[in-house]
Amino acid sequence: MEESFRGEYYQRVDSKARMLIPAPFRRILDRGDERTAESPRTRIVIVYGGGRARSFCEIYTMERAELLAAKVRRMKPGSEERKKAELHLLKRSVPVDIDDDGRIVMPPQVREKLGIDADAMKDGVEAVLAGVGNRLELWRGDLYREAHPLISDDEDEDEADPLSYLPDDDQEF
């Protein structure tokens, strides 16, 4: 069974746009990229497409990114849906190496998407890596907290057991 990304990690982005990838996430990312003589470091793909309404990026293992690309290739050539998928999932994505210290350098287009400029990096802006199963979400810290407060107004009124949201499909978990 494939291990899932889970949890939230708050990381500082330094003045050189470097950010540490937490060890639990690196282990999964390492398994999703076959190292070769040409690519001795673990590579990931950061997707920064999705329009203005989407204030985060997604990070995929190389293996998962190839599955995503294959899914796009199976779409009807020339269709509007395929053109949008190609734009937001393939064209607006960038491969990135994880260095020997477990860091990535956040590419300019990713920083622009997240609203992280040079001044923010000088101040040590915070980013959040949030595991969502088969991928990671990458957020600017303040936007993540705004979108996902620890306790939201909805949770105050909704005291449902979180397991009750899962489908009742008779499968063990």
Structure confidence by residue, pLDDT tens digits, 143-162: 999 999 876 655 555 566 77
Closest CA to 17 of 46, 40, 41, 42: 46
137, 57 contact by CB (below 8 A): yes
Helix (H, G, I), strand (E, B) or coil at 120: helix
Task: Give the burial class of 136: count Cβ atoms within 10 A of its Cβ; 0-12 exposed, 13-18 middle, 19 or more buried.
Answer: buried
Residues ≥6 apart with Cβ < 8 Å to 122? 15
113 vs 1 pLDDT, higher one:
113
Question: Is 165's pLDDT higher than 90?
Answer: no
pLDDT at 40: 86
Fill in the amino acid letter for 5: F
Closest CA to 20 of 94, 105, 93: 105
Alpha-carbon distances, residue 39 vs 93, 96, 105 (angstroms): 18, 11, 16
Task: Give the burial class of 60: count Cβ atoms within 10 A of its Cβ; 0-12 exposed, 13-18 middle, 19 or more buried.
Answer: buried
pLDDT at 35: 82
Question: Is 164's pLDDT higher than 80?
Answer: no
pLDDT at 149: 86
55, 147 contact by CB (below 8 A): yes
Structure confidence by residue, pLDDT tens digits, 77-117: 999 999 999 999 999 999 999 999 999 999 999 999 999 99
Residues 16 and 8: their CA atoms lie apart, in Å, by: 23
User: Thinking of the domain 5-149, which architecture would CATH place it in?
Assistant: 3-Layer(aba) Sandwich (3.40)
> Any idea where the domains of the chain sit in the sequence?
5-149
User: Where does the pLDDT of residue 38 fall: very low under 50, low under 70, confident under 90, or very high at 90 and above?
Assistant: confident
pTM: 0.89
167 vs 133 pLDDT, higher one:
133
Question: Is 123's pLDDT higher than 70?
Answer: yes
pLDDT at 37: 83
